[in-house]
Chain A
């Protein structure tokens, strides 16, 4: 019973490049959440998606960041024109049903380093 999958686990980009982070939720889960964690800090909510819908993107920076969860395939977090301040661990989590109070199961994270 595979857990939440994220790839790549480590990603290095130069300033100005694009970063694409992928997340495959647990089987049977239709809700996906993205969080960012800076070194020595807590998790910060970015976006909550269901299949083909963005439910809450209140934590997403207004520019350069976008997320999708298509009908088929993984959820994608895209960061355009990366800057050094984007270096962080990006965690994806999934939950099975309405999401109101369901436990979120986390993937191993993608550690983005911007040179």
Chain B
């Protein structure tokens, strides 16, 4: 079976750093994705991890530990436009299983 857990909601202040955690238990693993989804819009790709370690891309970084079934998305220098839902997804044989998403609210 597939089980992906992430916090439902988080709040942070503009300019700060926030870490969104994701734990997973899946029957197969070909990689872990993070997507951003603004209300009423389609998810957009943020990052992909298949090997353990940290992947950095501008203000966003993503970390993966396959042995622990754990990933996090790190957002630095938060901006108001970063207020959105962040989706963790595990890929297996072409099929992606998504968590329910973490709604991040950035306050001034």
Contact = CB atoms under 8 A, between A and B. Distances in A.
Interface of A: 31, 33, 35, 41-45, 48, 55-56, 58, 91, 95, 98-101, 103-109
Contact of B45 (A42, A91, A101, A105): A105
A101 B95 contact: no
Contacts of B98: 35, 42-45
Interface string B23-64: 000000011010100000111110010100000000000000
A103 B33 contact: yes
8 contacts: A33-B95, A44-B98, A99-B94, A103-B45, A104-B33, A106-B44, A109-B41, A109-B42
A51 B30 CA distance: 22
Contacts of A33: 94-96
B106 interface: no
Contacts of B45: 103-105
A50 B35 CA distance: 23
Interface in B58-89: 87, 89
Contacts of B33: 103-104
B30 A101 contact: yes
Given A31-B94, A48-B94, 14 more contacts: A33-B96, A42-B98, A42-B100, A44-B98, A56-B94, A56-B95, A91-B43, A99-B93, A99-B94, A100-B91, A100-B94, A101-B30, A103-B33, A107-B42
Most chain A C-beta atoms within 10 Å of own C-beta, residue among B31, B41, B42: B42
